[in-house]
A = this chain, B = another copy of it.
Amino acid sequence: MSLIERIETALEHHFSLTHGASAPPRLMEAMRHAVFPGGARIRPQLCIAVAKACGENDRGLTDAAAVAIELLHCASLVHDDMPCFDNADIRRGQVTVHKQFGEPLALLTGDALIVMAYQAIARSGRVHPMRTVELLSVISDGVGAPDGIVAGQAWECESRVELSQYQRAKTGALFVAATCGGALAAGVDPQPWRKLGDTLGEAYQVADDIRDVMMQADQLGKPAGQDAHHGRPSAAADLGLVGALDYFNNLMQTAVDSVPACESRAAMRQLVLKESERLVPPSACEIISRQHAAKSTRVSA
């Protein structure tokens, strides 16, 4: 079973246990709409990959950690897409939750997905309760105040914001929760895995900035040019496309180098490199290089 198949199976499993006969049907429909079909599921993949690298021995808890992280990510997308933030019509190539089900249900869908993340952990936590308490702590810190993704998003409501602190919280925090959560689910000290999450998270945000500038909405599966439109901090705006691409490549190299010594180190590095190509495809790198070369020629001419 591939990582992706394992994640989809675990998500379906936890949805089936959350979906009681007494649940409001449209809420359940909206929750599924927010989660299926998924995007790259990179955070839960990372979580499971780290658990495996750490000698996974409680598969149910690993799955619950991965599911929780993906649900928290999906919840943040539902709320970020709402009219008071991005007012986005499309996400992952389909209509956003508030466009399909209305704003009230979108608000509740995000809330219910956050809680469902914890229900998944609670359900799978009885075999190793102490690991579960640690996991609860690491995952919550990746989402809440002071440095989780919700706090990251809240920096957009402040008059002054420092780019790297904003990006680290907005995206990096949940990547850290994914790597550290994977280690904790396997009963292992999460500390050595923090840097991998932190660096990948920043790289992911930089790649997002690059793609937001370069691509069309139909390729992104969501509206393009949103950063400039909303006046949001962006590496591509700060460093230019060439500078942002250099920065991204350095971050991915740092991520690869940070993988601690373990049996499956080669597989982990492979996952990171594959993700790197998915985030900024070789074709995009080529376009940026070509534009840079053309500009240099014009300047020197």
Chain A positions near chain B (C-beta within 8 angstroms): 18-28, 31, 75-76, 79, 82, 84-85, 101-105, 107-108, 110-112, 114-116, 118-119, 121-123, 125-126, 129-130, 132-133, 136-137, 140-141, 143-148, 150-151, 153-158, 165, 169
Q: Bound state CA distance, A153 and B24, in angstroms?
A: 9
Contact of A18 among B85, B111, B145 (CB under 8 A): B145
Chain B residue numbers with a CB within 8 Å of A126 are 130, 133
User: In this complex, what residue of B is CB-closest to A158?
Assistant: B24
Determine if B156 and A104 form an interchain contact, defined as CB atoms under 8 angstroms apart: yes
Complex Cα spacing A148 to B145, Å: 24
Chain A interface, >50% SS class = helix
Contact partner of A144 (CB less than 8 A), chosen from B85, B116, B141, B144, is B116
Q: Which residues of B contact A158 (CB under 8 A)?
A: 24-26
Q: How far is the CA of A26 from the CA of B84 in the complex (A)?
A: 17
Supposing A104-B156, A122-B140 touch, asked if A115 and B146 sit within 8 A by C-beta, the answer is: no
Complex: A39 Cα to B143 Cα, angstroms: 27
CA of A140 to CA of B64, assembled, Å: 15
A112→B24 contact, CB < 8 A: no
Give, as a whole number of angstroms, the nearest-CB distance from A42 to chain B: 21
